[in-house]
Structure 1
Amino acid sequence: MRKYLLALSGLLCAATPLSAQSSAFHPGPVFTEFGQVATIETTMDIPADASFAIAFDTATRADVGEINRTLNSAARFINMHVEAGVPLENIRVAVVVHGGASLDLTRAELYAARQDGAENANAAAIAELLDNNVQIILCGQTAAYYEIGVADLLPGVGMALSAMTAHALLQQNGFTLNPF
């Protein structure tokens, strides 16, 4: 019976609309259109002088019309920590992109040509992330595979020799890899 109830509760949660599940989430103080956060009562204090240098990694492309989930997570990371009292200048974030997610970093012309004329929903989010000192770096090996040149990238997006190179250099500069 217990297994049945657990399975049933799992199905009910899965069937509950996301809007009902996420009612605790609200716009953050830095990014208001994406990267929503929930205010949390914690038992782990964040020191007043805390600083963060976090690298995110993604190879998963966003669905057409959606913001890449990892870009959203990077914005949420910044929003929740600023809301918790960490000064924005104490937060360094980088997003390393490879694989199919590479298309999410491209200019309108290339994106539309490869997505049946669709608009790149990531463009505005990327511009806002870059305006807030988030580094967005494309794997050069992936770019070569997908025939994406530097001129095809949205303004401000960087190109590394590889994602492995980008992560190694970021780590040497004090960044830790976000584990999910």
Structure 2
Amino acid sequence: MKTMLCLIAASLLAAPAAAQDRSTFTTGPVFEDFGPHAQVEQTQPLPADLALRHSFDVAAAAEDGRFNRGFESAARFINMHSANGVNPDRIDVALVVHGRAVQDLLTDEAWAARDLEGDANPGGDHVRAMLDAGVRFIVCGQSATGLGVANEDLIPGVEMALSAMTAHALLQQQGYTVNPF
């Protein structure tokens, strides 16, 4: 009982700290409709010649017909650095997608055929915009096989790897850092 009360108290104290004022967040300059970020007065400005190669690991599927949160984080990364002087051409981003998140990369036809929520992939337009901007989406072939997803089920431009582990190993050899959260 004492442990239960401690857990409840801890969760109540943490709730206000977790709330964020997102009213000052904006989108753009690369993705005008998504990838919100805040302007920050930095103590150390970003180097003028900064180049970034960064990968994101995404396993959690989108919630209730929304755009996948992991995909949104990658768009935020690009927008916030571009808004702070980093040339978008010097930002290379790859998303390694596995588990149920693979379904968030389905074409509208494959989405509808699986009787997922809605008639079309709700994040498909954002994924296509990110692909057009040079973002790489790399699907774990092991997850895809387990979910019955073939290459032709994926939005054009999405890559298929042997596995997520293989994709991460290859990206690290190419100089990509891995998003730690």
TM-score, normalization by structure 1:
0.89
**Larger mean Cα displacement after TM superposition, 170-179 or 118-127:** 118-127
Distance apart, 1:44 and its partner CA: 2.6
The amino acid across from 1:45 in the alignment is P
State how far apart, in whole Å, the 2-side matches of 1:12 and 1:78 are: 29
Distance apart, 1:11 and its partner CA: 3.9
2:149 matches 1:113: no
Residues 117-175 of structure 1 show CA distances to partners (whole Å, capped at 9, x for unaligned) of: 44211110110001110000100000110010000001110000100111111111110
The amino acid across from 1:177 in the alignment is V
Distance apart, 1:113 and its partner CA: 2.8
Alignment of 1:142-161 (within 5 A): 142-161=143-162
The amino acid across from 1:119 in the alignment is A
Distance apart, 1:77 and its partner CA: 0.3
The amino acid across from 1:108 in the alignment is D
Q: Which runs of 5+ in 2 are unaligned?
A: 1-5
Alignment of 1:61-76 (within 5 A): 61-76=61-76
Note if contact 1:62-1:101 (Cα within 8 Å) is conserved in structure 2: yes
Q: Name the CA shift for 1:153/1:43 in 2 (closer, same or farther; >3 Å).
A: same
Q: Matched residue of 1:48: which SS?
A: coil
State the 4+ residue runs in structure 1 displaced beyond 3 angstroms.
Answer: 5-14
Distance apart, 1:7 and its partner CA: 7.0
Q: Which residue of the partner structure matches residue 30 of structure 1? A: 30
Q: CA RMSD in A?
A: 2.0
Note if contact 2:65-2:118 (Cα within 8 Å) is conserved in structure 1: no
Alignment of 1:63-102 (within 5 A): 63-102=63-102
Q: Matched residue of 1:25: which SS?
A: coil
Alignment of 1:165-176 (within 5 A): 165-176=166-177
Distance apart, 1:96 and its partner CA: 0.5
State how far apart, in whole Å, the 2-side matches of 1:139 and 1:6 are: 37
Q: Which residue of the partner structure matches residue 163 of structure 2? A: 162
Q: Name the CA shift for 1:134/1:6 in 2 (closer, same or farther; >3 Å).
A: same
State how far apart, in whole Å, the 2-side matches of 1:81 and 1:171 are: 21
Note if contact 1:64-1:118 (Cα within 8 Å) is conserved in structure 2: no
Q: Name the CA shift for 1:6/1:163 in 2 (closer, same or farther; >3 Å).
A: closer
State how far apart, in whole Å, the 1-side matches of 2:75 and 2:163 are: 23
The amino acid across from 1:144 in the alignment is T
Note if contact 1:65-1:119 (Cα within 8 Å) is conserved in structure 2: no
Q: Name the CA shift for 1:116/1:83 in 2 (closer, same or farther; >3 Å).
A: closer
The percentage of counterpart residues that share the same residue type is 47
Q: Which residue of the partner structure matches residue 131 of structure 1? A: 132
State how far apart, in whole Å, the 1-side matches of 2:36 and 2:26 are: 5
Q: Name the CA shift for 1:94/1:7 in 2 (closer, same or farther; >3 Å).
A: closer
TM-score, normalization by structure 2:
0.88
Query: Number of residues paired by the alignment?
Result: 173
